[in-house]
């Protein structure tokens, strides 16, 4: 019998009562005043990451009920089934074993196969990195979704470890405005193209690959086999394209969980084999934490439980991710796919309609840029949006004063969200830019902040390959946790199929102008685009 989903448990009913009795009204300012050790009680130490969960709108009673919910939903049993390699992706009959990609030799399922492929693509990465021998100065990764977002996020994050003589470029959008400026800056004799598509049929990726090949040949390129490499399982299609060096991965690796596989080839080229293995080791350390730590001290579990609490009881519809490190500027985009493609579902794994909301909207920008863009809404808007701050203690640059200012801003924003400011407090402050004609009481109201707005802070000692691996694995297991409680399959993505199918139907119509059978809007837009 399948494990119960969250709304089928006694704990769910108890949580609703608790929310109405005290959870809805919890005030963080009062909580800190009455709980001297709140920071310590809601702090969790995990591999490479310390999490401060104390500024969230929950109590020890809330957390206890959420843990009961996890137990009644058999979260630990579901986790263990995934790690054993059982086919928990039931709609596709597949195991979910991204954890096997970062397990040490001899540990975990498929170890020999995994490490054989790992050794192969890391050896090739080192050949490319030997620029005096390879002659390469530029590497272009052509992929989309999981074949793009992971490497595109990780390479700038690990800039301090990147090869100084190699430039990495990422092309994903089928819009020609993506690939054209990249090609403009390249020397075909010194460029390596990586075509990343599991099936070698992904429409956007193959369209861009065809453009890259045509450009290469038009520029006088003569050795296609040396300048193009494939990350794919479709060897015949790659060979027909002209690619004979390929690296594959397996159907138990989902795209958004694939940066640990050969999809990570551009990462390995950028940071080298040793650092790529450190990335894997950090992820594996978080895997062990997720597998072995008690649920009450298990950071991915606690974050997943908090997500359910906010989404289904407080009704918060989104979460903002604010990494206070420029290297993590692509992390929000990466997390959008990881979480929203995984848990953006409206039926459970048995096909039954859900009674509770699932994935929030995940969005954000690096600090301090976000402060000067959307933080106005976070502080004074009508919606409450939990914020996830990511801070890094030690920078990899020499500008200590800048880093101090960055960290102070990070701490100040989470503090301000919690504390707020009353109109009475605002009335005592000067506001030099305010109009002298504005009544003081109106100005005071405009300059007040409600406060009691929740946030989490994740703290890394340094953004090393090992730390980044742990951080990404943390988010992966968090997504699994909330998805398991909601009773959904977090590892399929049927929602992307319809748009692809309709696109294939519309492509010939854009050429022919045939609008027969189309709805009025699509027909009208197609005609205007052709006119």
Active site residues: 341, 372, 500
Q: Tell me the CA distances in angstroms from 444 to 17, 141, 371, 384, 412, one per residue in order.
A: 37, 53, 22, 21, 21
Sheet containing strand 246-247, edge to edge, reads 167-171, 138-142, 191-196, 228-231, 246-247
Q: How far is CA 253 from the centre of its chain?
A: 16
CA–CA distance, 378 with 96 (Å, rounded to integer): 36
Query: Where are any strands of DSSP class E within 197-296?
Result: 228-231, 246-247
Q: Tell me the CA distances in angstroms from 528 to 309, 440, 522, 525, one per residue in order.
A: 47, 54, 10, 5
Terminal Cα distance for the chain, rounded: 58
Of 313, 276, 334, give the one whose Cα is nearest residue 475: 334
Q: Which residues lie closer than 8 Å to 308 by C-beta, 6 or more apart?
A: 6, 66, 69, 482, 485, 486
Handedness of CA 196, 197, 201, 204 (dihedral sign): negative
How is residue 110 written in tokens? 């498929």
Between 299-309 and 465-486, two packed helices, what is the crossing angle to 10 degrees? 50
Q: Is 218 exposed, middle or buried (0-12, 13-18, 19+ CB in 10 A)?
A: exposed
| Residue 422 dihedral angles phi and psi, to the nearest 5° | -80, 165
Helix (H, G, I), strand (E, B) or coil at 54: coil
How is residue 13 written in tokens? 């009913």
CA–CA distance, 249 with 253 (Å, rounded to integer): 7
CA–CA distance, 109 with 117 (Å, rounded to integer): 14
Q: Tell me the CA distances in angstroms from 287 to 45, 337, 425, one per residue in order.
A: 14, 20, 47
Q: Where are the alpha helices (DSSP H) in 23-105?
A: 28-34, 38-41, 60-72, 75-84
């Amino acid at each position: 019998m399948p494990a119960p989903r969250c709304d089928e448990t006694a704990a769910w009913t108890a949580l609703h009562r608790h929310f109405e009795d005290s959870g809805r009204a919890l005030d963080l300012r009062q909580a800190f005043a009455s709980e001297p050790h709140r920071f310590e009680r809601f702090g969790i130490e995990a591999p490479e990451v310390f999490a401060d969960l104390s500024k969230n709108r929950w109590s020890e009673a809330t957390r206890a009920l959420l843990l009961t919910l996890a137990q009644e939903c058999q979260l630990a049993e579901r986790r263990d089934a995934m790690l054993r390699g059982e086919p928990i992706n039931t709609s596709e009959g597949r195991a979910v074993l991204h954890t096997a990609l970062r397990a040490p030799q001899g540990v975990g399922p498929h170890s020999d196969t995994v490490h054989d492929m790992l050794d192969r693509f890391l050896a090739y990465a080192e050949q490319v990195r030997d620029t005096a021998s390879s002659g390469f100065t530029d590497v272009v990764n052509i992929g989309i979704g999981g074949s793009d977002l992971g490497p595109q996020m990780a390479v700038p994050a690990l800039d301090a470890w990147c090869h100084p003589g190699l430039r990495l470029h990422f092309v994903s959008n089928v819009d020609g405005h993506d690939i054209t400026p990249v090609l403009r800056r390249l020397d075909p004799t010194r460029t390596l193209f990586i075509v990343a598509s599991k099936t070698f049929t992904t429409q956007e990726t193959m369209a861009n690959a065809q453009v890259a090949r045509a450009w290469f040949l038009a520029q006088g390129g003569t050795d296609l086999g040396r300048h193009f490499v494939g990350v794919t399982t479709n060897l015949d299609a790659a060979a027909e394209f002209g690619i004979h060096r390929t690296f594959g991965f397996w159907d138990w690796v989902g795209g958004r969980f694939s940066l640990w596989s050969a999809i990570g080839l551009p990462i390995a080229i950028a940071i080298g084999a040793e650092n790529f293995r450190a990335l894997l080791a950090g992820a594996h350390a978080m895997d062990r934490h997720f597998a072995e730590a008690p649920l009450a001290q298990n950071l991915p579990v606690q974050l997943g439980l908090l997500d359910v609490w906010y989404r289904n009881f407080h009704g918060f519809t989104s979460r903002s991710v604010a990494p206070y490190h420029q290297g993590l500027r692509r992390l929000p985009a990466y997390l959008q796919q990881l979480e929203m493609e995984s848990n953006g579902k409206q039926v459970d794994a048995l096909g039954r309609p859900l009674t509770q909301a699932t994935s929030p909207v995940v969005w954000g920008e690096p600090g301090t840029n976000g402060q000067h863009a959307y933080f106005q809404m976070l502080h004074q808007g009508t919606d409450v949006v939990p914020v996830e701050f990511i801070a890094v203690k030690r920078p990899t640059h020499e500008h200590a004063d800048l880093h101090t200012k960055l960290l102070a801003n990070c701490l100040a924003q989470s503090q301000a969200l919690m504390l707020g400011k009353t109109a009475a407090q605002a009335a005592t402050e000067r506001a030099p830019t305010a109009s002298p004609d504005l009544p003081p009481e109106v100005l005071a109201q405009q300059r007040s902040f409600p406060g009691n707005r929740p946030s989490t802070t994740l703290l890394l000692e340094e953004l090393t390959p090992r730390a980044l691996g742990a951080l990404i694995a943390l988010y992966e297991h968090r997504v699994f946790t909330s998805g398991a409680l909601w009773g959904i399959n977090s590892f399929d993505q049927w929602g992307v199929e319809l748009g692809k199918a309709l696109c294939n139907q519309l492509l010939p119509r854009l050429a022919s102008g045939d609008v027969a059978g189309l709805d009025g809007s699509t027909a009208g837009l197609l005609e205007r685009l052709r006119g």
